[in-house]
Homo-oligomer: A and B are copies of this chain.
Amino acid sequence: MKSIKTELEQLNTNLHKMIAAENPILYSAAEQLFNAGGKRIRPTILFLISKLTSKDKIISTEQKRLAEITEIIHTASLVHDDIVDNCDKRRGIKTVHTVFNNKIAVLAGDFLFAQSSWYLANLNNLDVVKTISKIITDFAEGEVQQGMTSFDSQISVEEYIEKSFYKTASLIACSCKATTILNKSDKNIQNNFYLYGKHLGLAFQIIDDILDVTGLSKDLGKPAGSDLMNGNLTAPLIFTLNKKSKLQKMIDQEFQFKNNINEAIKIIKNTNGIQKAKDIAEEHIQLAIHIIKGKYSDTNNKELLLLTYYLINRIK
């Protein structure tokens, strides 16, 4: 996105400064993830919404800080998520708990969550503090739901969507809303962008889950099928499950499933499970687009629409 290139570069510089800990281990643990790159999709969305809903088309200092805070919370959640999922690699590089150990990873995550709370408080906007603090509660709730439905072949699509909201969409929805709060947008606009973020976030998670099945390890930066191997049953599989009893049996016998993950992927690919998952992702993308299309007719809206389409194009 050309219009926010400078802001994204500044975000990267600031993130390094913001996580500066007195302690070198904490610093390098935290830094590792920021260095790993990532697509910075969340800040991109927030910057575009900042411009879209402000009168002077300028992203305020507070909105830039909010995007940084959101990225720190996201990173903290990844560090703890990798412990919970026993994930060794992320974005092609080793995870914190692999390079250091579980203990350092627990603390590095805590430290990042704490730093984000500190910067959040210093935004001096209670409405924003309340909106953003909801994200971390939802994240923990989502992760535990995921743990409880591990290898549970009875999981429904509704439960999967709920889990995805808590784990992923809540962060995007709440931070989109908070961005408009900082622009003093009216409640209606705030709620619109909450819904935009919610649908985009759900689509985002479903697309990620499809890529876990269809993608190549080198593109994913982690082994293909690694979610499934952890017992995290996602849309493509849930839609397949109704049809292929062999897959069901494999999941019920967790070890067999883990050992035959490639066979499981093959079964999923041979059904219309992936197509059905794509349909739901597309549905949420359309709901997101419906909210912004026509209402905000300028360059930034065009970019936000482009970004929204870009996400769904990853699986086309």
Contacts and interface: CB of A to CB of B under 8 A. Distances in A.
B22 A141 contact: yes
Contact of A103 (B21, B84, B114): B84
Contact of A121 (B106, B133, B139, B145): B133
Interface string A91-118: 0000000000011101111110111011
Contacts of A118: 130, 133-134, 137
A267 B55 CA distance: 72
A215 interface: no
B140 A130 contact: no
Contacts of A109: 106, 110
A113 to B, nearest CB: 6
Majority SS at the chain A contact face: helix
A122 B127 CA distance: 9
Question: How many copies of this chain does one complex carry?
Answer: 2
Contacts of A133: 114, 117-118, 120-121
A114 B137 contact: yes
A23 B145 contact: yes
A111 B21 contact: no
Contacts of A26: 140-141, 144
Contacts of A25: 144, 147-148
Nearest to A113: B113
B113 A144 contact: no
A28 B312 CA distance: 39
Q: 3 smallest A-B Cβ distances: which pairs?
A: A114-B136, A111-B140, A114-B137
Given A118-B134, A140-B26, A80 B110 contact: yes
A282 interface: no
